[in-house]
Structure 1
Amino acid sequence: MLRKSGVFATLVGASFLSAGLVAALPAAANAQDAAACGTERKIDIAEMTWPSAAALAHIHAIILEHGYGCSVEIVTGDTVPTSASMISRGTPAVAPELWTSTVEEAWERGIADGIVVKLGDAITDGTVEGWFIPRYVQEKNPELTTAEAVIARPDLFPDPENGDKGRLYSCPPGWACELSTSALYEAFDMSGKGWNLFSPGSGGALDASIARAFTREEPILFYYWGPTSILGKFDAVQLDLGPVKPDIYACNTDTDCTDPPGITAYPSSPAIIGAAAWLSKEAPAIATYMAKAGLSNAQISSLLVYGDENKADAAETARNFLKTEQELWTSWVPAEVAEKVRAFLN
C-alpha cells in the first residue's frame, strides 16, 4: 500500500512537473522573443496615407514580428500628427517614411531634446519632383534635356484641345505643387511662347492622362513626383530646371509673397525612417536593422507597380516585395532573422 502510494505520489508529482514545464514554454518563448527584439514594449508603426509609406510600414511589421519576434501594431498615420505624437508621447515608435521638410523645426527640436531619432534614410537618393517627358520623345529629339529646350518646341507637345499650342500638365488643384508649377509656367513666360497650362482636376486624372500618352506613345510634358508607381511603370525623363533656389521656391509657393515668380528647380524633400528615441535604446538590434533598410526611388517605384497593376493593398504589396526581392532585404538582417521571415512567407 505504501509502495502504491509512493508510486502514485511520484506519478502525480511528475505529472504536475510536466504540466509546469508545458505552462512555462510559452513564457520561455516570449522571453526569447523579447530578447531577440530587445524590448517587451509594443512597437507601433505608422502607416501613412500614401502608397510607398504604407507598403514600407507593412514590410517592417512583417520583419519585426516574424523575424525578430517583436510585438507589433500598425497604426494610422500622417506627417504632422505622427511626428507631433512621437515628439510629445513617444508613440508611434516608428515612422517608416517621414517627410521632415514640413515639420522641420519641431523635428529638429525633438532630436535635440533626445525624444526622437533618425534611424536612416527611407529614400536613399531623395524624393523626386519636377517636369518629365517620355524617353521615346527624347530619343527622337536628343536636344530635349532642359525645360528651356522643351519650352522652345510647343509643336512637339500639342494641346489635344488646341493643336496650335503646347500643353503642360500641371499638379492637381489644391496641392502645393500646383502653386510651384503655375509659378514656373509664368516665370518661363510659357503663355507667350505658345503653351497652355492644363489642370488635370485630380491625381487620378493626371495619372490617367500620363498612362494614356505612354500607352499610345504620344508626346506629353507633365509635372510629377516620386517615388510613385507611375515613374516605376513608365520610362520618363526628368528635365533639367537648373539649380534649386530656396528663396525663390519659397516665394513661388507662398500666396502672400509679392515678388514676381522666379525660375528654380524643385527641392528634394528628405524622407527618413524616424523613431521614438526609446526604441534605439531598448532595441538596438532593431535600430541597426532599420538603419540599413533604405530604398532608392527606383526600388520603391518598382515595388509600387505590383500594387497598382494588381489592385493590391499595402499588406499584399509588402508580402510580394519580401517574396520577390529577397536578395535585397536579407542584406538588412542577420541570416537567422531572414530564415524566420522566409518561413512565415512560405
Structure 2
Amino acid sequence: MKLMKLTLTALFAVLIAASAMAMDMKPGKDVTVRPARATWNTGFFQEALARRGLEELGYDVQKPKDLQNPIAYKSIYLGDIDYWCNGNFPLHDPQLPKNFEKNGVILDPIITAGGMQGYLVSKKEVEKYNIKSLDDFKRPEVVKAFDLNGDGKADLTACPPGWGCEKVIAKHMETYKLDDYIKPNKASYEAGMASTLGAFKSGKPAFFYTWTPNWTVFKFKPGQDVMWINVPEEGDTEGTVSGVEGAVSDPLRPGFVVYDITVVANRKFLEKNPAAAKFLENFKLTIGDVSAQNTRMNEGEKSDKDIAKHVDEWIAANQDTWNGWLDAARKAAM
C-alpha cells in the first residue's frame, strides 16, 4: 500500500511537470516564419496580433512584407511567404492563382462578414424622412436636407478616383438614375470624412460610403448615430446580408460584396507547424476590436511602436482568450 501511494505520488508529479512544461513549450523554436501584410493600414492590427502569438510560441517571425493582394497570394502559393491575415473572401477570389488550393489554405474567418461596405445616413434624418434606400434621395425634401453646398444635389462623401468603390458608386448612380439627385464627392477620403464628422457634430446631416473595419464606424456608431441604408432592389446583383447592426432593414441590400476577413497560409507551412496552424485557426477578432484600433491610428497612433502598444493592450484586456489560443497551439504540437 505504501509503495502504491509513492507510485501514485510520483505519477501525479510527472503529470503536473509535463503539464507545466507544455504550457511553457516553445514549439516554434528555431523555425523562421515569413509573413506578409496588406498595403492598407486598417489591416495592420490583426497581422501584428498574429505575429505576436507566433513569437510567444517561439517562432522567429520576420518583419512582414507589405504586398498587393495578387502578389501575396502568388507568394503563398509558391512558398515564398508563409501566411498573411488580410484575405478578404469572396472579394479576393478572382485574385487567387489557378489551383491555389493545391498549395494554399484559406482558414476560417478572423471576422465573419467583417468586410461590410455600403452607404450610411445620419439616424436623425433617416427617422425624420423615413429613408430606407438610395431611391429616397430622389425626393425633393431629402435632396434639400443633404444639399450642403447649395448646388441642388445631396452631398455624398464617396471614394477618390481609382479606388474600386469609386467604380461601384458610379455604377449605382447610373443604374438607379441618381446623377441628378446625388453628387459623390471624390476628394481625399480621410479629409472628406473628417469634414463630414465635423459637420455632423455641428448638427448637420451625414451621408457617406464606408467599409469595415474602419475608424468611421467607431466615430459614427451604426444604430446610434447613423444607419446603413439599402440600394434599390432593381439592378442589385450583390444580394442581401442579415444581422447588420444599425441597418434600416433586415436583411439589408448594401450594394457591395460582404466579405470575411481571413488568414491565408501556405499548406506545407501549416502541415510542418501544427502549433502555428492551431493558433492561426483559433485567432478571432470583432469588428469593434479592429475599428477601435483603426480609430487610434487615424488620430495619429500609427507607427509600428504604436501598433505594438495596441497589441499589448488588447492582450491584457483579453488575457484568458489569448492564453487559451496559446495553450491549444502548444497542445497541438505535443
Greater fraction of residues in helix: 1
1:267 aligns with 2:257: yes
Equivalence for 2:276: 286
Q: C-alpha distance in 2, partners of 1:336/1:166? A: 51
Q: C-alpha distance in 1, partners of 2:82/2:184? A: 42
Equivalence for 1:307: 297
Shift of 1:134: 2.2
Among candidates 28, 31, 56, match of residue 41 of structure 1 = 31
Equivalence for 2:123: 135
1:154 aligns with 2:140: no
Among candidates 159, 183, 186, match of residue 200 of structure 1 = 186
1:219 aligns with 2:205: yes
Shift of 1:128: 1.0
Shift of 1:107: 4.9
Q: The residue matched to 1:270 in structure 2 has which SS?
A: strand
1:296 aligns with 2:289: no
Equivalence for 1:316: 306
| 1:76-100 residue CA offsets vs partner (Å, 9 max, x unmatched) | 2221111111112x13211111225
Among candidates 154, 173, 176, match of residue 166 of structure 1 = 154
- For residues 132 and 33 of structure 1, do their structure 2 counterparts lie closer, same or farther at Cα, with a shift above 3 Å needed? same
Instruction: Provide TM-score, normalisation by structure 1.
Output: 0.72
Shift of 1:275: 0.7
1:87 aligns with 2:77: yes
Shift of 1:337: 6.0
- For residues 334 and 225 of structure 1, do their structure 2 counterparts lie closer, same or farther at Cα, with a shift above 3 Å needed? closer
Q: C-alpha distance in 1, partners of 2:29/2:227? A: 45
Shift of 1:34: 11
Among candidates 170, 180, 183, match of residue 168 of structure 2 = 180
Q: C-alpha distance in 2, partners of 1:95/1:156? A: 44
Q: The residue matched to 1:217 in structure 2 has which SS?
A: coil
Of residues 202-211 and 52-61 in structure 1, the stretch that sits farther from structure 2 once superposed is 202-211
**Equivalences, count:** 285
Does the aligned pair in 2 maintain the 1:43–1:72 contact within 8 Å? yes
Q: The residue matched to 2:177 in structure 1 has which SS?
A: coil
Among candidates 180, 186, 196, match of residue 210 of structure 1 = 196
Equivalence for 1:256: none
Shift of 1:41: 2.8
- For residues 39 and 325 of structure 1, do their structure 2 counterparts lie closer, same or farther at Cα, with a shift above 3 Å needed? closer
Shift of 1:116: 1.0
Q: C-alpha distance in 1, partners of 2:84/2:167? A: 28
Matched to 2:87, the amino acid is L
Shift of 1:120: 2.3
- For residues 330 and 213 of structure 1, do their structure 2 counterparts lie closer, same or farther at Cα, with a shift above 3 Å needed? farther
Shift of 1:332: 4.5
Shift of 1:277: 0.9
Instruction: Provide TM-score, normalisation by structure 2.
Output: 0.74
Shift of 1:335: 7.7
